[in-house]
Amino acid sequence: MGDNVNKLISVPQLITLLIINRIVISMTFGSSSIGGYNIWDCIISSVVVFFASFILVLPILSLCNNENGLDIVDLNEQILGKFGKVFSVIYSFYFILVCAHALSTFKIFITSVIDPPISFLVLATSIIVFACYASSKGIESIARTSSIILFFISFLLVFIGFSLFKLSDFTNFRPFFYDGYNSFKNGSIFMISRMSCIPAMGMLISMSKGNIKKGILVWNIITCLLMVSCIFFVTGVLGDLSLVKLFPIYTSTSVAKISKFENLDFLYIGLWTSAVFLKISMFLNLSSECLRKSFGKKNNKIIIFLLGMALIFVNMFSKMSNIFKGIFDTNIFLILTVSTSFVIPCILLICKKRGKNEKIKL
């Protein structure tokens, strides 16, 4: 236990990893994500989720922000013994499911919106192979790469945002809850269900050096502003047209232009591809670490390879829509996310407290 007692990344690098993870969700958010409703009310959802995030992250922060370098997998086995392996496997499954979901969403975009010169299977396999290589190099290598890529992503976001602001029509902004509360409710559920950053913190906090609490605050503010900005620009540029677009942010960038630069959709595609690659790399690494620690393996490269093969298999057979639609259902993701971010850590905290009380009595 305590493999991560030597801190591997800094808190700014941790924030970078978490922001890129959230960018993948923000860039694909649209009416289809919340059941076909207008996304304007989801600005209120973003604010609600901002405060809910602090509540959800508290148990993991209380458990993992320690000086012993213990992550959620170490604590599972330290507190619950062999039964803790069950929780560790659940975390590993959740992390690899996040990878599969990111890849499947990317597949829908590539195959339904643009016409790539190569098959998506070749493209996805290439992404997975490179992600496996990056994952095998360790979380510190992924974090360093993320810092470089986030710099360019930030530049592109400002570039695109400036263009979209000039195209925004303020008559598209209706009063909040003009059409009822379904958009707000579904938006809140969707955002919480895709908050895979918090379970990831169960592994990453123990690897990070610096002020974790300040880092979480900065991460939460930036991700909230990112989501609010995406909703603002989509509504301002597309209005009701966003209701019929599968990827409205892509549609917005496809009509944007700055000076001689037109059709900024190529920036969106590059941004999203980079973010998907880094997200898969990070969660592959975390999933393999969960399994490596639980089953006492010294080297996780074989585990990463097997998980990568599983992702390729999922991509090949993702036309089995009934199975994959069920796995990626928002309600199922909500249960898994809340369980891994809040419920399981709360169970560990309760058991840890009871264990201390018993020792005091003895």
What is the domain partition of the chain in residue ranges?
9-361
The pLDDT of 90-116, averaged and rounded, is 85
Q: What pLDDT score does 319 carry?
A: 57
CB atoms within 10 A of CB 321: 8
User: Does the pTM of the predicted model rise above 0.85?
Assistant: yes
Strand-strand pairing, 208-209 and 257-258? unpaired
CA 264, CA 161: separation in Å to the nearest integer? 11
Whether the per-residue pLDDT at 262 is higher than 70: the answer is: no
Which ranges constitute the DSSP H helices of the chain?
Answer: 11-26, 42-64, 72-80, 84-112, 120-136, 139-167, 182-193, 197-204, 212-238, 248-255, 265-294, 301-316, 321-327, 330-338, 344-361
The pLDDT of 161-166, averaged and rounded, is 78
CA distances from 152 to 146, 148, 193, 223, 324 (A): 10, 7, 28, 17, 33
User: Residue 297 — pLDDT band, cuts 50, 70, 90?
Assistant: low
Whether the per-residue pLDDT at 224 is higher than 90: the answer is: yes
Taken as a whole, the chain contains a residue count of 362
Strand-strand pairing, 208-209 and 9-10? parallel
The whole-chain average pLDDT of the chain stands at 83
Q: What is the pLDDT of residues 197-223, one digit of tens each?
A: 999 999 999 889 889 999 999 999 999
User: Residue 148 — pLDDT band, cuts 50, 70, 90?
Assistant: confident
Q: Has domain 9-361 been given CATH number 1.20.1740?
A: yes
Q: What pLDDT score does 171 carry?
A: 81
pLDDT higher at 319 or 141: 141
